[in-house]
Structure 1
Amino acid sequence: MMPLSSSPGVMTLDEWKQFCSHSVDALSDIYRQLINGFDKQDPAWISCASKELIDSQIAQLSAWLKEGKSPHDFALWGVPFAVKDNIDVVGFETTAACPAFAYLAEKDATVVAKLKAAGAIVVGKTNLDQFATGLVGTRSPYGAVPNTFDARYVSGGSSSGSASVVARGLVPFALGTDTAGSGRVPAGFNNIVGLKPTKGWFSASGVVPACRLNDTVSVFALTVDDAAKVASIAGGFDAEDAYSRRNPFTAPARFSVKLRLAVPDRLEFFGDELSEAAFAKSLTRLEALGVQCVAVDFTPFRQLAEQLYAGAWVAERTVAVGDTLARFPEAMDPTVRGIVEGGRRFSACDAWQAEYTRATLAREINSVLAGFDALVVPTSPTIHTIDEMAEEPVRYNSQFGTYTNFTNLADLSALALPGDFRADGLPAGITLIAPAWHDAALADFGRLWQQALPLPLGATSKALPISTPVAAQGFVRLAVVGAHLRGQPLNFQLTTRNAVFVEETTTDASYQLYALANTTPPKPGLARGDRGQPIVVELWDVPLARFGELVAEVPAPLGIGSLTLHDGRQVKGFICEPYALADATDITSWGGWKAWLARHHSA
């Protein structure tokens, strides 16, 4: 079978923004052509934006220009995106793929409102497994969403439509949701990026719940850069969401230089040799990148994954859609109805016991991961055709969740990435899973991985563009010049606070470096002077919440101020009070602390 057709104008976020920034008057024509190009019979769409809905969004952009703002003030100016149809968008019906449940949204979900405020434009609502119950993409009265590489196969779900429209380049990003893997399995089946954020980072206000304690809004994109940029805009604390959380800003911006990844000791592919071979290739590729992959006992992960549907947690779904189940049972997909009805057999005692089991297994899982940067798994152990799924809808769905179901229950972050393809030409992605709030570190590695993998984007022929990573939020970039450099005695004050090395560079030519007198351990002082030259510094990203601890340990006459680098960047850095320079030795000519130490000790 041939893959579904892709858009001839496949663009990333930056390309869309540049394309739309020339004239707001041209946006109406751009979007008319874009919407007219959508196939209204395409099962990936439940509804496409009307001319009135597009015009109202463009009118807001125009109003901002009249207020004196410019497209450069908006990170997503004119960028189109799609939204899974269990997330409210004002003016659209929210159906959750159940027409009897449908209602007209009077307010944007918080995540949608944030993206619109950044200049993005909603072009449609996408299909899903009904009430976000499934990992297959076939449980919808609006039709099964086919795989973008081979229409005989499933697209994955529940966020099937969002993954499909991104994979074909119809939009550069789309929102999904992920409770048990719905934001990752469709990414793996369609060769795109699926970012499943830490629970509570994205607001769930305006989102139809599936399992409220474990739901997360997710992001699909063609590149990790784009997914990370969208996440940085959409995320953040929301007082209207009872389960929203504030980022503690203690996690690292990157993984270790010597990356260690855990791998399940017993990998299960349910007899799918093609998926097994593809994952083996990806592991070999990781090792070629210098990554150490270490087998770990996967038992607690497997046991927790089984809890999501086999235990009392399924009763959360019953609570979420109980009214529809009571009033319109015939309107529900039979498989979905069977799953949701199953929640009625559990008691309150069962629910509490399920929580105790979850907490115990989650603690074991986080203990296993403590010695690693992340866990790497196949996004799904196998894939099935739409016809096969009709024969075994529950069993095959369960197989898809083998490496996804436990993630939210254990409070972990995850990033699904394109991986080596199967021999039959179908995608077989990998997923990295890390502790909560390690989203920035996942994205940083995801960029490196995507650059190392020579794949086209999604189901298109577009090549990966040059990376333009977004600066991670919640970190202070600090320039160190002396005892905090790598290999020096105070470097531990950075590494024990999850600070990570970024690069070695130099200041501009206005700085002088001094060896201070009577300091233990020996320390330099950096100050502006008339006889300056570029001085070697290291840049480190320090988690925001740990920065104050570090500053408190800086002894006089040193302090933290603002430094100018040779390329004009401004960063925080160690500086010295002038009074301490009177009896210090000027070592500016050595160009850096390590160079002076080496020559000083060899003299």
Structure 2
Amino acid sequence: MNTLPPDPDPVPITPPTASQRVIAAFERLTEAGRPELWTTLRAVEDVLVDAKAVDERVKAGENLPLAGTVIAVQDLIDVAKQPSGHGVPETSAPVVARLTAAGAVVLGKTGAALISGAWDRTKAGGNGAAVAVALGIVDLALSTGGAVPAALNAVTAVKPTRGLLPAADTVSVYASGLVAARRALALMTGGDRSWPADVRLGAGEHPRIAYPSDLPLGEAATLALHTVVARLTAAGAVLTPISLPERGFDGFDALLLPTVPEHPGIAEALADPAGVGHRLAACTAFANLLDVAAVTVPVLPGDRRPFGVTFLTRAFEDQIALDLATVCTDEPMTPYPEPGEDVVVFGAHLRGQPLNADLVELGARFTGPVRTTEAYRMVLLDTKPPQPGVLDGGTALDGERWRLSPAAFDRFAATLKPPFVLERVELADGSTPLAVRCDPAADGPGLDRYESWRGYVRFASTAGLRAPG
């Protein structure tokens, strides 16, 4: 019988080089036909010199997390003088220098003047940085502007806690999504302020979120806010309407705000820039008086309507704002680079189990499920509430990884009473985090039939708590 030969192995797709990405950026720039975005646009030859240098560094084996990322920088932020430059700084602002050191390439400098939007030229679009990102000319943009330009162009904006970035003025990162913005922030972070030892990294499965009940919003902005409220509620958050700004964060993990109340025409905005600017900033203006972190996202993935929402959290609780925003964007939750320690749990500290509240109250952040190598086993301990002890054995176990701030980790460790101990486990991904394990001397009935504590709990809920046979 004749048989067809096996399909060849798929050929891996080679990512574009920095030079190729720069050429593509200039092609998009030409197609867009928006010269008013730029106060300084570098010559393609100069940008390609930088891109080729990045390509050479990659070939030499350097790990450049932003290799070939094309960025724009608002005119108020320093960018180092190029060989042909005149009247510009000798050095870049630290936020720019850290991105270019990681492989980013600067395309040019954008203006802060009001221009038309990315998707509708008859509408106001805020500054050039947000429009350049929305049109896909650049991957990232740095701006001293805030949430409003991002909302008017349906892009993401992240403004970290003041002082986390090395800049005298607050810098926002505009990007097409949260993952790209968070990656840039991780590289730029390191300013005048340090993370508190007891910083909260998470708000649990049921975060408490306040949203305004009394802001004058247009029909589209109202729809956008209610859409996000419904989506967060479905995800398990507890939403409460309040009057702003009286209560602020009192009793809540975050504030959810419509970013703009309307989308004015560009003619009206140019005729009365102060009046229109005041109206557009009305939803988030009070936040400028607070020490907060802010994340602005479009209402739904791919939605180009300019009525995004902004999540505000207390200073240094940037991670909570980022995680809440992912509910709107359907992007994976990614960690901001706070200091902390990972802990793996297998029993009553799992989500939905009796002791999980201890982790939530400490501000721990759930970072994902894990599975160990086939080197462990569980036994049933005589504790209240019932818990498993994890010992050496020959089974792979399912658990969860949580991240705690340094102070929270110390408090969590202090809650563990004998026979529980913190020891490292080997996970299937090769990492070896600390985990809640058991003193080998405290044995108990074996749970060898189960690879997870939840599996045993399901068994016990029908068969009754007893020693498994």
**TM-score, normalised with respect to structure 1:** 0.67
What amino acid sits opposite 1:591 in the alignment?
E
The match for 1:526 is: 390
Shift of 1:111: 0.7
What amino acid sits opposite 2:379 in the alignment?
Y
The match for 1:233 is: 187
CA–CA distance in 1 between the matches of 2:228 and 2:444? 54
CA–CA distance in 2 between the matches of 1:289 and 1:595? 24
The match for 2:240 is: 294
The number of residues matched between the two structures is 446
What 5-or-longer segments of structure 1 have no aligned partner?
1-15, 21-26, 94-101, 130-136, 138-144, 206-214, 238-243, 301-363, 452-466
What 5-or-longer segments of structure 2 have no aligned partner?
1-12
TM-aligned CA distance change 1:175 to 1:192, over 3 Å = same
Does 2:65 correspond to 1:75? yes
CA–CA distance in 2 between the matches of 1:290 and 1:267? 25
The match for 1:370 is: 250
Identity, in percent, stands at 29
CA–CA distance in 1 between the matches of 2:403 and 2:372? 17
Which of 439, 449, 453 is the matching residue for 2:328?
449
Contact 1:193 1:220 (C-alpha < 8 Å) held by counterparts: yes
Does 2:225 correspond to 1:279? yes
The match for 2:364 is: 499
Shift of 1:533: 1.1
Q: Give 1:388-467 correspondences, 5 Å limit.
A: 388-419=268-299, 426-451=305-330, 467=331
Q: Deviation per CA, 1:17-37, whole angstroms, max 9, x where unpaired? A: 9322xxxxxx44653563365
Does 2:166 correspond to 1:196? no
The match for 1:485 is: 350
Secondary structure class of the residue paired with 2:141: strand
CA–CA distance in 2 between the matches of 1:428 and 1:483? 42
Secondary structure class of the residue paired with 2:15: helix
Contact 2:245 2:286 (C-alpha < 8 Å) held by counterparts: no
TM-aligned CA distance change 1:381 to 1:78, over 3 Å = same
Q: Deviation per CA, 1:413-439, whole angstroms, max 9, x where unpaired? A: 111111269x9x842111111111221
CA–CA distance in 1 between the matches of 2:392 and 2:189? 39
Contact 1:254 1:442 (C-alpha < 8 Å) held by counterparts: no
Does 2:463 correspond to 1:473? no
CA–CA distance in 2 between the matches of 1:268 and 1:251? 35
TM-aligned CA distance change 1:256 to 1:103, over 3 Å = farther
CA–CA distance in 1 between the matches of 2:437 and 2:69? 42
Work out which structure has the larger RCO, using CA pairs closer than 8 Å and 6 or more positions apart in sequence: 1
Which of 266, 269, 273 is the matching residue for 2:214?
266
CA–CA distance in 2 between the matches of 1:17 and 1:108? 31
TM-aligned CA distance change 1:489 to 1:450, over 3 Å = closer
The match for 2:423 is: 561
Shift of 1:253: 3.7
CA–CA distance in 2 between the matches of 1:523 and 1:50? 65
Secondary structure class of the residue paired with 2:35: coil
CA–CA distance in 2 between the matches of 1:488 and 1:224? 31
The match for 2:171 is: 217
The match for 2:3 is: none
Contact 2:224 2:258 (C-alpha < 8 Å) held by counterparts: no
Which of 123, 139, 162 is the matching residue for 2:129?
162
What amino acid sits opposite 1:18 in the alignment?
P
Shift of 1:60: 4.6
CA–CA distance in 2 between the matches of 1:273 and 1:576? 58
More moved, 555-564 vs 387-396 = 555-564
TM-aligned CA distance change 1:491 to 1:255, over 3 Å = closer
Contact 1:279 1:430 (C-alpha < 8 Å) held by counterparts: yes
CA–CA distance in 2 between the matches of 1:196 and 1:444? 14
Secondary structure class of the residue paired with 2:424: strand
Identify, as 1 or 2, the structure richer in helix. Answer: 1
TM-aligned CA distance change 1:497 to 1:110, over 3 Å = same
CA–CA distance in 2 between the matches of 1:478 and 1:197? 26
